[in-house]
Amino acid sequence: MTDKSKNTDSGRVAFQGEPGAYSHQACRDMQPDLEPLACATFEDAFEAVEEGHAELAVIPIENSTAGRVADIHMLLPHKGLFIVSEYFLPISHALLATAAASEETLKQVYSHVQALQQCRETLRGLGLEACHYMDTAGAARHIAELDDPAIGAVASPLAGEIYGLKVLRENIMDHDHNTTRFVALAPAPNDIDDLAKTGEPLMTSFLFEVKNVPAALYKAMGGFATNGVNMTKLESYQRGGGGFAATAFYSEIEGSEKDGNVVRAMEELRFQTKEVRLLGSYVCARSRDL
């Protein structure tokens, strides 16, 4: 069991990936006064906060082109962390290569699977073979070490600067609106009264598991409709490895945990489900209106 009595290192913010990753950039934007702490996996980033090695973890949760980051849904139920803020980072992928390379010499490009999906049409148009790597910045470091003019990477311009690579093409994403949403996680939730004083619109995230009965989800959602609570996200995922009976959901709603209509909706949700876990309320960084 993690010792939560340890003093938190208030000078660090953990992220998954290597220096130069987009999560590194998000850390610098969200918490410019904290030192970014690179972690090999998402779980390592969570544990850095749980064990007091970092004050926060900044984690990508979804991308406007490639969709949700599935690993996060698997980790959130098992970690005692809370969402305290969100941030939307416009993603600007660059085609990076070593000094001797050119578009004519390139045959392969390495990057994280999400980045490759976001640039799929561009890479196909250039006739490049897409090769998966653990993360974008790691791919940049890898090709810098290989120093092969036939191999490039898709990563951030920041990664190119860090690893001494040149930019062959900028902004190679298939869609201009490509944006990744990050959340900051902390050992304790925000103080709702302090949030209310900001006057900003608030969001609340939570997890729940439905009962294995007919119309379970329909019944669980009824309280939000009758209490006028706007649900902006509802995503399902399977919990555990013992079969397909345990269906869990990650959801986001407008409002805070203390709003009267939210309180009533959550009471109804608890009555209709096996388990509910609040992940925290936080300031809405961007309107969900179309």
Question: Which residues participate in catalysis according to the annotation?
Answer: 180, 182
Query: Measured between alpha carbons, how far is 27 from 25 in angstroms, rounded to an integer?
Result: 5
Query: Measured between alpha carbons, how far is 19 from 114 in angstroms, rounded to an integer?
Result: 18
Query: Measured between alpha carbons, how far is 172 from 16 in angstroms, rounded to an integer?
Result: 23
Q: Phi/psi of residue 268, each to 5°?
A: -65, -40
* 160 in Cβ contact with 96 (< 8 Å): yes
3-state SS, one letter per residue, for the chain: CCCCCCCCCCCEEEEECCCCCHHHHHHHHHCCCCEEEEECCHHHHHHHHHCCCCCEEEEEEEECCCEECHHHHHHHHHCCCEEEEEEEEECCCEEEECCCCCCCCCCEEEECHHHHHHCHHHHHHCCCEEEECCCHHHHHHHHHHHCCCCEEEEECHHHHHHHCCEEEECCCCCCCCCEEEEEEEECCCCCHHHHHHHCCCEEEEEEEEECCCCCHHHHHHHHHHHCCCCEEEEEEEECCCCCCCCEEEEEEEECCCCCHHHHHHHHHHHHHEEEEEEEEEEECCCCCCC
